[in-house]
C-alpha cells in the first residue's frame, strides 16, 4: 500500500510539473509571436512612410511641371544584392481613361546588357506584361503614382558600373503607341 501511495504522489508531482512547463512554453510562445508581429509592423510602417514621401514628391513634380511621366530618382546608386523603393507618376492629359503598360529596357551597360526579361522580371518588381497587355490605368485628366522596387541581383553576371535604362509607357496594347519614356541612370556598386 505504501508503494502505491508513493506512485500516486510521484504522478501528481509529475502532472504539476508538466502543467507548469506547458504554461511557461505557451507564455514564451506568445511573447515571441508578439515580438515578431511588432517587428514586421515597424517594417511595414517604414516602407509605407518611405513610399508616401515618394508619392508626394511625384505628385508635386507632375503638378508643377509639364511632364506626363516622372520617376522618383532618375540617377541612383545601388549595391549588388540590395534593393530600394522607387515609384513613377503618370499624368493623363486626355479626355478618356488611359490603360497602359510599362517596360524597362537596357540601353547602355558597362559590359553586356541584361536581357529585357532579366530587367523587367529580376531587377524591377512591378506588374509586367511581356505581351504588352495593359496592367495599369489612370482616369482622364488625372494623375496616379505607382510603386516599383529595384533589386540588383548579387550574382548572375551583373557587373559594377553605370547602366542606362529606359522606362517606356505604352498606351494600349503593343508597342506602337509610346505614351512617354524616361531615362534612368543606375550605378551598380
Q: Mind listing the pLDDT tens digit for each residue in 1-31? A: 455 555 677 677 778 888 888 888 888 888 8
CB contact at 8 A, 67 and 91: yes
What integer is the mean pLDDT of 122-136? 88
- In this prediction, residue 47 carries a pLDDT of 57
pLDDT: is 12 or 169 the higher one? 169
Burial class (CB in 10 A: 0-12, 13-18, 19+), 67: middle
- Report the candidate in 49, 69, 67 with the shortest Cα–Cα distance to residue 138: 69
Non-local CB neighbours of 20 within 8 Å, separated by 6+ positions: none
Q: What residue numbers bound the domain in which 180 lies?
A: 1-189
What integer is the mean pLDDT of 77-102? 92
Cell digits of residue 45? 510602417
DSSP 133: -
The C-alpha cell 501528481 sits at: 12
- With 80 as the cut, is the pLDDT of residue 123 above it? yes
- With 70 as the cut, is the pLDDT of residue 151 above it? yes
Q: How many domains does the chain have?
A: 1
Query: The whole model's pTM is what?
Result: 0.70
Give the CATH number of the domain where residue 95 resides: 2.60.40.10
Amino acid at each position: 500500500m505504501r508503494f502505491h501511495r508513493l506512485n500516486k504522489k510521484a504522478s501528481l508531482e509529475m502532472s504539476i510539473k508538466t502543467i507548469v512547463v506547458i504554461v511557461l512554453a505557451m507564455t514564451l510562445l506568445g511573447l515571441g509571436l508578439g515580438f515578431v508581429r511588432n517587428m514586421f509592423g515597424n517594417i511595414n510602417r517604414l516602407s509605407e512612410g518611405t513610399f508616401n514621401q515618394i508619392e508626394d514628391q511625384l505628385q508635386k513634380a507632375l503638378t508643377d511641371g509639364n511632364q506626363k511621366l516622372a520617376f522618383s530618382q532618375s540617377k541612383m546608386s545601388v549595391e549588388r544584392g540590395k534593393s530600394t523603393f522607387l515609384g513613377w507618376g503618370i499624368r493623363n492629359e486626355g479626355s478618356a481613361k488611359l490603360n497602359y503598360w510599362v517596360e524597362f529596357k537596357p540601353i547602355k551597360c558597362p559590359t553586356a546588357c541584361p536581357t529585357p526579361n532579366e530587367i523587367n522580371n529580376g531587377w524591377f518588381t512591378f506588374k509586367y506584361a511581356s505581351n504588352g497587355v495593359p496592367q495599369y490605368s489612370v482616369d482622364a485628366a488625372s494623375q496616379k503614382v505607382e510603386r516599383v522596387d529595384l533589386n540588383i541581383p548579387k550574382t548572375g553576371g551583373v557587373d559594377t558600373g553605370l547602366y542606362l535604362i529606359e522606362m517606356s509607357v505604352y498606351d494600349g496594347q503593343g508597342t506602337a503607341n509610346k505614351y512617354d519614356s524616361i531615362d534612368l541612370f543606375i550605378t551598380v556598386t
